Homo-oligomer: A and B are copies of this chain.
Amino acid sequence: MKRLALSEYVAGIKNHDRTILGRAITLIESKNVSDRLLAQKLITEILPLTGNSFRLGITGAPGVGKSTFIDGFGSHILSQGKKLAVLAIDPSSKVSGGSILGDKTRMESLANDKRAFIRPSPAGDSLGGVAQNTLETLLLCEAAGFDFVIVETVGVGQSETIVKDITDYMMFLTISGAGDELQGIKRGIMEMIDMVVINKSDQVSEKELSRLISNINYALHLFPAKDSNFTVGAFTCSALNKTGFDSIYEELEKYKSKTEALGYFKENRNNQQKAWFRRLTETKILEYYLNNTELQKLISDFEKDILSLKVGPMEAAQSILDFIKK
């Protein structure tokens, strides 16, 4: 597809033109060098228009009904007068070539609603690339007037960390039964989440449900208090029957207004911005040096010496640094 001029992208996004938004995202995802330069300018131009959405991360194991939940809860969000964008992070899409959101029929109601915008996960060749693309896509969506953004993750590898790094709130979706509620919770995820939602709650007895909730609350209780000062709560819903959305949405509203009043909301975003800048700087510095032909030669010479035990990796790394310094 042909590139537009910078001003055309900017004007289109300001006018909430979805076709141009889509093309801007394609530009962002391009690996072509001149596309990257244009994309960088575009992001700088639209930055002042960003920051006005609630950014919700959603994770959960396959089979807990994430698509149905996002479709149903997304429609509830729209009914509250919001404009919703749904993005996805799926680092495995680089392998399969596909994407968890490739098939929009996964979220039929949203796909047919003009107030919603669904964008599949970019097929990046590195985790860092996928993270960068998703963050820039999120910013473009905000600039185009979407004031609620869901970032879905398949939970593979580090995808949850990426989502955590660019969202305001992390929701963990689970279901009852088969020990899944706790066993299936990936170790390390509990520290990351702000809310547990038990989906398909209509499929279990009241007794089973309250046992489950008390188990989850017990597990959550073992973790230190959140920086947000909010208690991680367990909520129930049936995405299929569209029940339970009200209390979940209310909790999100409450979270946003309280943390905004206390300053944490802004503080968290500022920390995310700084960390993003730090990562970009580190990547740029390393790319610059490690792409230097003279240095590449030196590195490959040292590799040979290391493999023949002539020099230790520590010493070799120090020699590389000494070479750079002079």
> Which A residues fall within an 8 A CB radius of B?
40, 43-44, 47-48, 50-51, 61, 155-157, 178-180, 183-184, 186-188, 270, 273-274, 276-278, 280-286, 288-290, 299, 302-303, 306-307, 309, 311-318, 320-321, 324-325
User: In the complex, what's the smallest C-beta–C-beta distance from A98 to chain B, in angstroms?
Assistant: 15
A-B CB contact pairs (8 Å), 27 listed: A40-B312, A40-B314, A43-B312, A43-B314, A47-B312, A48-B309, A50-B309, A51-B309, A61-B183, A61-B187, A156-B187, A178-B178, A179-B179, A184-B184, A186-B186, A186-B187, A270-B307, A273-B303, A273-B307, A273-B313, A274-B306, A280-B314, A280-B316, A284-B318, A285-B289, A285-B324, A288-B321
Name the residue on B nearest A269 (C-beta): B307
Q: Which residues of B contact A302 (CB under 8 A)?
A: 277
Name the residue on B nearest A300 (C-beta): B274
Q: Which residues of B contact A321 (CB under 8 A)?
A: 281, 284-285, 288
Are B179 and A284 in contact, with the CB atoms below 8 A?
no
Nearest 10 pairs of A and B residues by beta carbon: A280-B317, A277-B313, A44-B312, A281-B317, A178-B179, A284-B321, A183-B184, A40-B314, A284-B317, A179-B179
Q: Which residues of B contact A286 (CB under 8 A)?
A: 282, 285-286
Q: Which residues of B contact A270 (CB under 8 A)?
A: 307
Q: Which residues of B contact A280 (CB under 8 A)?
A: 313-314, 316-317
Are B184 and A313 in contact, with the CB atoms below 8 A?
no
User: SS class of chain A's interface: helix, strand, loop or mixed?
Assistant: helix
User: In the complex, what's the smallest C-beta–C-beta distance from A106 to chain B, in angstroms?
Assistant: 20
Q: How far is the CA of A282 from the CA of B184 in the complex (A)?
A: 35
User: In the complex, what's the smallest C-beta–C-beta distance from A209 to chain B, in angstroms?
Assistant: 19
Q: How far is the CA of A272 from the CA of B282 in the complex (A)?
A: 23
Name the residue on B nearest A307 (C-beta): B270
Q: Which residues of B contact A61 (CB under 8 A)?
A: 183, 187
Q: How far is the CA of A288 from the CA of B320 in the complex (A)?
A: 12
User: In the complex, what's the smallest C-beta–C-beta distance from A227 to chain B, in angstroms?
Assistant: 16
Q: How far is the CA of A48 from the CA of B281 in the complex (A)?
A: 38
Q: How far is the CA of A285 from the CA of B276 in the complex (A)?
A: 19
User: In the complex, what's the smallest C-beta–C-beta distance from A290 to chain B, in angstroms?
Assistant: 8
Q: Which residues of B contact A276 (CB under 8 A)?
A: 313
Name the residue on B nearest A320 (C-beta): B281
Q: Which residues of B contact A307 (CB under 8 A)?
A: 270, 273-274
Q: Which residues of B contact A50 (CB under 8 A)?
A: 309
Given known pairs A277-B316, A277-B317, A302-B277, the reply for A178 and B183 (CB within 8 Å) is yes
